[in-house]
Amino acid sequence: MTRRLLEGSEAIAEAMIVAGCRFFAGYPMTPFTEVLEHMADKLPAVGGVCMNAESELEAVGMAWGAAATGTLAATGSTGQGLSLMQESLAEMTLARLPLVVLNMARAQGDYFQATRGGGHGDYRHLVLAPMDVVEAVRLTQVAFHLAARWRNPVLVFGDYYLAHTAQSVEVEALPLEDLPASDWALDGSSGGSGQAKLVSPLGSAKQRDRVGYDLAQHYQECVVATAEMVAGVTPMAETGFTDGAEVVVVAFGTPGRYVRAAVGQLRAEAVPVGFVRPISLFPFPSAVVAAAAESARAVAVYENNQGQMIDDVRLAVLGRAPVHFIGGLSLDSSGFGIAPDLDVNVIRGRIQRVVAESEGPR
């Protein structure tokens, strides 16, 4: 049990290794770069492979190949780099492959990319959004577990703060249940058996059984697998002060800590506010948000973008209360999302305005 002061990038790298990750590929891009540096440094020492890919496209390709062998694999980037990976991410999901993908995002404008998927076709990825380094160490390991359990990519949504903030953490293996055997994985050995394995987004039907791929049937099977995954993963959220809250504030990731702090301060001043911090962005904790909104006068959403998670909040609230956007684009001139308005006092003020506007008869 050794607590060390680690910046998020390093803690996440160590968490990946402790989770069993033995293949990583990446391309430098702020604020993801340090994760690649740490993996390049640490992974070979445990017998793993870290590839400095020639672009994000090849990074996800290399991770795809490694994942197909049953090796626990991961890749990552920031939003723009993830944009390049979208075709592969969509198709890897159809190939039913586990993969952990890090988005060390610039602000929170990648919420749609993460939760809707920027790729083509019907697919879903599980998305986890840690708010700080301690939570990231836990959720990174959970991500590998979920990816292997459901044979589906899992995205961990971080940001610049997470990458570059140092916190005192222990990186210890979580006691998670054993992963299912990956008997679908390739290693060459089933060659010549009449049952040689196939890992493909087009399906697993062989011509010896019927002629050609039946993509419609394969997509149906993937739909069923997705539904099982969604049903099998309990949405995660943190809530606070929601009992009797007249205004409920929803925020995710690093801003979630600031909102939590603002709500705590206001409650100490007897202002009846509460918060919900979604931790799994997909599946979204709709029931938790709905329950919190049940007796609220208003719901406020704080996020560093033009309003993305607010869509999911509105769907969850479903008219029980008006939903107000109190976030905004990051004001950081570098574009890295280090928002000057990530300020507890500023957030307090915005919450108080919503409280004031929602006073009076319902």
Partner 1 sequence: MKRVEGLVVVPTDRAPTEPARLVDDFTPSLIEVGGHHLCPGCGEPIAMRSAVEAIEELGLIQRTIAVFGIGCYTAFSNNLDVEVLQALHGRAPSLATGVKRAKPETFVFTVQGDGDMVNEGLQEVIHAAARGERITCVMLNNGVFGETGGHLTATTVLGQRTKNTLDGRTAEAHGHPIRLSNLLAQLDGTAYVARGAVNNAGNVARTKKMLIRAFETQMAGAGFSFVEILTMCPTGWFVETQTAPSYLADNLAAVHSPGILKDVRA
Taking CB under 8 A as the rule, does residue 40 contact partner 1? no
Q: Contact at 8 Å (CB) between 247 and 302?
A: no
DSSP secondary structure string for all residues of 312-335: HHHHHHTTSS-EEE-------TTS
The kind and range of the H/E element at 160 are: helix 160-164
Identify whether the C-beta of residue 148 lies closer than 8 Å to the C-beta of residue 180: yes
Binding residue (CB under 8 A) for partner 1 from 17, 23, 93, 123: 23
* The only residue of 66, 82, 147, 169 in contact with partner 1, by rule CB under 8 A: 66
Tokens of residue 23, six digits: 């293949």
Binding segment for partner 1 (CB under 8 A), chosen from 60-68, 170-178, 253-261, 345-353, is: 60-68
Binding mask 76-115 for partner 1 (x = CB under 8 A): -----------xx--x---x--------------------
Q: How far is the CB of 92 from partner 1 (least distance, A)?
A: 9
The strand pairing partners of 126, in sequence order, are 154
HSE value, Cβ hemisphere, 13 Å, CA-based, for 149: 17
Q: Which is nearer to partner 1, 220 or 345 (CB)?
A: 220
8 A C-beta contact, residue 138 and residue 260: no
- The pairing of strands 166-169 and 4-7 is antiparallel
Nearest C-alpha neighbor of 77 from the set 30, 120, 118, 37: 30
Query: How many residues belong to the site for partner 1 (CB under 8 A)?
Result: 52
Which CB, 8 or 81, lies closer to partner 1? 81
Minimum distance from residue 293 beta carbon to partner 1 (Å): 42
Q: How far is the CB of 68 from partner 1 (least distance, A)?
A: 5
Rule CB under 8 A: say whether 67 interacts with partner 1: yes
> Is 69 one of the binding residues for partner 1 (CB under 8 A)?
yes
Stretch that binds partner 1, among 147-155, 203-211, 253-261, 326-334 (CB under 8 A): 203-211
CA–CA distance, 147 with 61 (Å, rounded to integer): 17
Q: Please identify which residue in 64, 160, 241, 275 interacts with partner 1, judged by CB under 8 A.
A: 64
94 or 351: CB nearest partner 1: 94
- Let me know how long the chain is: 362
Least distance from partner 1 to the Cβ atom of residue 288, Å = 38
In the numeric block, the tokens 């980037």 are attached to 77
Of 159-198, binders to partner 1 (CB under 8 A) are 186-194, 196-198
Find the Cα–Cα–Cα–Cα dihedral 179, 180, 185, 191, rounded to 10°: 140
Lookup result for tokens 């929602």: 358
Per CB under 8 A, residues contacting partner 1 are 22-23, 25, 49, 51, 53-55, 57-69, 71, 73, 87-88, 91, 95, 186-194, 196-208, 211-213
